[in-house]
Structure 1
Amino acid sequence: MTDKLLPPKKKNPQLRQRVPTLPPAMRSRAALGLTAAAARGEFSLQHCEDCGAVQYPPRDACSSCLSVKLSWRETGRQGKLIAETRIHASPDPYYRERLPWRSGLVRLDAGPTVLCHLHGDVGRGDTLRMDLKLDKAGQGAMIALPVERTPDMADDPQLRSLTADPKHRRILITDIRSPMTRPLIDGLLAAGAAHVFVGQSESWRRGSDHEAIAALDKVSVVQLDVTDASSVQRLAAEIGGKTDILINTARFVRPGGVLGADTVFAREEFETNALGLMRLAQAFGPGMASRTADGVNSAVALVNLLSVHALSADPHYGAFSASQSAALSISQTLRSEFRSSGLRVINVFTGPTDDEWHQPLPPPKVPPKALAKSVLTALGEGLEDVFCGDVAKDLQERWRKDAKVLERELTGGGA
């Protein structure tokens, strides 16, 4: 059984510390389908449209009939471990510092035999459940997991290296006034977070939950205004070296289209929603990127909350949608810039949330607890894109199917 993960010991500055290294990152273009599936939390393999054969590893032509009509589909996760090995020596710098490392061959019920990482609670002959995760290089990797959840399952070193689990980590939440802040704090502490910092701007505008949050054990309220570069930099100088996960909950929303919009409000939406993310990444990112190999409490993720209308604009929230699209582009660029360190950038997309600025909209709306749960799921599963709520999931599916049709439907150009 997996050993319980203990809190990290105080580091000895005289000893050599690990520097960020990445597992091998080279993949074929076909294999990027595995990466895309892992980013969304799916288990997808190529299926031949002519003969139906399931393919692994990914390829450009069917291994059975040589057809090039291969499509990615959700595939059954069940399989059986038929061989295993424990690697004790490796020329690769990433694995050399993490030995021994278990891997094995699993025969999937769907057909192919796959080479994968092995969770510590599975053994030869076991029936198991396969999962796709993003490794430190941002590439899709297979891991074999127990069918039923085991005690301390998430503490397995190989599984933990493929996720951003908050256990024993220190987290910064950027906005104490966000409706989801309290349920997010409760969820993080229940998941074993070592400490939670909560940002507060304009301290004279204290909300009803401020005193209750400030009184919580393992929680500190700190001064942070994401629209003020000096405020962000001061906090980064204070706690940047011990921030393992940064969750950006700061958001400014105003309804209205573009032609009649107040540009003062529009500027504030961009300052908070897009440029605020840039300021946070510039101030906290380099320090976090340097600590991605820092053991139990290594830095692992920057999380950003986005409206699903970052994909396709809602004309009733025109400037807000534009600021969300800008934030999405910034997060995609950050993924490229953080890739060499292994720091993960996670986007949690949501439909209309249950707050004062979305009150005129009809249900369904996303309650704060559901949004907080999606953030915790993204961290615990190591996902890259998560869609929270029925509206977000529906719009994402329609956008993937045909973005232009979705645009016409949202802007009133549909039938």
Structure 2
Amino acid sequence: MTLPYPKKKDPQKRTVVPTLPPAMRSRAALGLSVAAAEGRFALQHCGECGAVQYPPRDACHACLSHDLSWKDTKPYGKLLAETRIHASPDPYFRERLPWRMGSVQLKAGPVVLAHLVGVGRGDRVRVDLRLDRAGQGVMVALPEHRSDDMEDDPVLRAMGTHPKHRRVLISDATHPVTRPLIDALFAAGAAHVFAGVPEMWRRPHGLSALDGLENVSLLPLDVTDPQSLKEAASEIGGKVDILINTARHIRPGGVLGHDTTAARDEMEVNALGLMRLAQAFGPGMAGRTADGVNSAAAFVTILSAHALSPDPAYGAFNASQAAARSVAQTLRAEFAPSGLRMACVYTGPTEDEWHQPLPPPKVAPKALARAVVDGLQQGLEDIFCGDVARDLADRWRSDPGLLEREITGGGA
């Protein structure tokens, strides 16, 4: 069933207070949430006997070894049994009954409990790890071959941040990613795009590509100017369902020889700008996460992958990115009670004037736009765009200290 376009909201009706599914998890079970945030299907594997674990635990169910590590696992299996829940004491599920659940025998071994979408008993299924509205990893059993409208299902729509029928604010229209991002958002079904323009009076470079686009509105917005943000939020704050922060200030150079004025500008735009955006638009978005089809869903910021471990050649810029990452993680905790998703898109060096001296691979604007929209469609929290970003993330997870030595000491 195709998702209908939402009716105009009645301003006289009281806004629905958002409810969340149960959020309590054991420390072991949080590994499911980490994998779901990145769009991976991972389970614990025993280092002693190789047994795959479910549910997550502190000791192997087969040999009682504590040597358990999370590994990507094949997500295919068969639906053994299903049930339809008609009564629940939990407010979140009570609002959405009936709700289908089932047990799936994975080819990897375990039998897992999963939400069901478009499948029945005996079907071959693919199990996805998704983040629910509480930000916790849950399993969803889906057909192996999916239709174009699969994400319209109420279960996936409630869990995800798909841009279909939603209105999106892009904070800086002068960023090279803006035009391909607009195209990708409309291809995914977005209803309207607002694009912020700093110093709109002087018509910055790049705006000509946006002239005459249908369902695109330009408005003055400068993340370094609190008054500009206040005026923009008062005009469109109640209409923004997804916010994508593209504002960025970058200058090459380390710390010892870097102009502190440029470093201050990087902090003002990249870290403090994110804070100001969240302060201006975040509360309103957090209050609209239960508005139905076009409820507020996600707050997205684009970061350098070197926010994880800095490149000395861009030391001050990477410091601002690390600060912005810390701001985003704090916002994730503050948005959690409302169900508003805080997503970070980590990218390698991009194709722009400030990364000209660097060799490929570099991230093209279209590739970055595709990563942002794909992440929204899957409801991810941590998105890694480009070979450099994915490699840095893998090495950082494995050993952050070793990665630092490799970057600063010239290691391969």
Q: TM-score, normalised by structure 2?
A: 0.97
Deviation, 1:202, is 1.1
- State how far apart, in whole Å, the 2-side matches of 1:44 and 1:221 are: 42
From 195, 206, 210, the equivalent of 2:207 is 210
Aligned to 2:95: 97
What whole-Å deviation, never above 9, does each CA across 1:195-226 have from its counterpart, x for those lacking one?
A: 00000011244355423413111110011000
Aligned partner of 1:163 in structure 2 is 160
- Is 1:318 equivalent to 2:315 in the alignment? yes
Match of 2:175 in 1: 178
| Equivalent position of 2:346 in the other structure | 349
Q: Distance in 2 between matches of 1:110 and 1:317?
A: 44
Q: What are the residue-to-residue correspondences of 1:25-40 with 2, within 5 Å?
A: 25-40=23-38
Q: Of residues 112, 115, 122 in structure 1, which corresponds to 2:113?
A: 115
1:228-247 equivalences under 5 Å are: 228-247=225-244
For 2:360 and 2:132, how far apart are their aligned partners in 1? Answer: 37
In the TM superposition, what is the alpha-carbon distance from 1:15 to its structure 2 partner? 4.8
1:205-284 matches, cutoff 5 A: 205-207=202-204, 209-284=206-281
Distance across 2 between alignment mates of 1:304 and 1:184: 13
Whether the 8 Å contact between 1:246 and 1:302 is mirrored in structure 2 is yes
1:106 aligned to which of 104, 107, 121: 104
User: 1:412–1:108: structure 2 CA closer, same or farther, 3 Å change rule?
Assistant: same
Paired with 1:386 and 1:135, the residues of 2 have a C-alpha distance of 17
Letter in 2 for 1:216: L
For the residues of structure 2 that align with 1:165 and 1:340, how far apart are their CA atoms?
Answer: 20
Residues 104 and 114 of structure 2 are in contact (CA less than 8 Å); yes or no, is this contact kept in structure 1? Answer: yes
Bigger shift: 401-410 or 140-149? 401-410
Structure 1: how far apart are the matches of 2:405 and 2:63? Answer: 40
Report the 3-state secondary structure (helix = DSSP H, G, I; strand = E; otherwise coil) of the residue aligned with 1:326.
helix
- Aligned residue pair count: 412
Aligned partners of 2:76, 2:124: CA distance in 1, in Å?
7
Q: What is the CA-CA distance between 1:413 and the residue it aligns to?
A: 5.8
State the 1:105 CA deviation: 0.9
Counterpart among 64, 71, 74 of residue 72 in structure 2: 74
Maintained 8 Å contact 2:198/2:221: yes
Q: Give the AA of the match of 1:64.
A: A
Q: 1:88 to 1:14 in 2, by over 3 A?
A: farther
CA contact (8 A) 1:62 1:70 kept: yes
Relative to structure 1, the CA distance from residue 96 to residue 207 in structure 2 (aligned partners, 3 Å threshold; closer, same or farther) is same
Partner of 1:404 in structure 2?
Answer: 401
Q: Which amino acid aligns with 1:382?
A: G
Shift of 1:83: 1.1
Alpha-carbon shift at residue 86 of structure 1 (Å): 1.6
Quote the Cα distance in structure 2 between the aligned partners of 1:127 and 1:154. Answer: 19
Range moving further from structure 2, 3-12 or 251-260 = 3-12
The runs of at least 4 consecutive aligned structure 1 residues that moved more than 6 Å come to none
Please name the residue that 1:12 is paired with. Answer: 10
What SS class does the counterpart of residue 406 from structure 2 fall into?
A: helix
Aligned equivalent of 2:49? 51
Between 390-399 and 164-173, report the one with greater CA deviation.
390-399
Which residue of the partner structure matches residue 84 of structure 2?
86
Please give the secondary structure, in 2, of the residue aligned with 1:274.
helix
2:60 is aligned to 62
Structural mapping, 1:309-388, within 5 Å: 309-388=306-385
Residues 42-71 of structure 1: per-residue CA shift (max 9 Å, x gap): 101111122221111111111122222211
Structure 1 distance, partners of 2:13, 2:153, is: 25
In the TM superposition, residue 98 of structure 1 has moved relative to its aligned partner by 1.4
Q: Is the 8 A contact 1:214 1:220 kept in 2?
A: no
Counterpart residue identity of residue 77, structure 1: P
Displacement of 1:412 in angstroms is: 2.5
Equivalent AA in structure 2 for residue 362 of structure 1: P
Q: Which amino acid aligns with 1:8?
A: P
Identical pairs, percent: 68
1:414 Cα offset (Å): 4.3
Give distance in 1, aligned partners of 2:309 and 2:204. 33
Q: Distance in 1 between matches of 2:138 and 2:56?
A: 12
Q: Which segment drifts farther, 154-163 or 404-413?
A: 404-413
Contiguous gaps of at least 5 residues in structure 2: none
2:159 is paired with a residue whose SS is coil
2:292 is matched with which residue? 295
- C-alpha distance in structure 2 between counterparts of 1:45 and 1:414, whole Å: 31
Give the C-alpha shift of residue 264 in structure 1: 1.1
Q: Is the Cα–Cα contact under 8 Å of residues 214 and 221 in structure 1 kept in the other structure?
A: no
- After superposition, the CA RMSD in angstroms is 1.3
Partner of 2:133: 136
Please report the TM-score for the alignment, with normalisation by the length of structure 1: 0.97
| Of 350-359 and 86-95, the range deviating more from structure 2 | 86-95
Mark the CA change 1:413 to 1:11 in structure 2 (over 3 Å): closer, same or farther: closer
Q: Secondary structure at the match of 1:23?
A: coil
Q: Is the 8 A contact 2:15 2:288 kept in 1?
A: no
Structure 1, unmatched stretches of 5+, are none
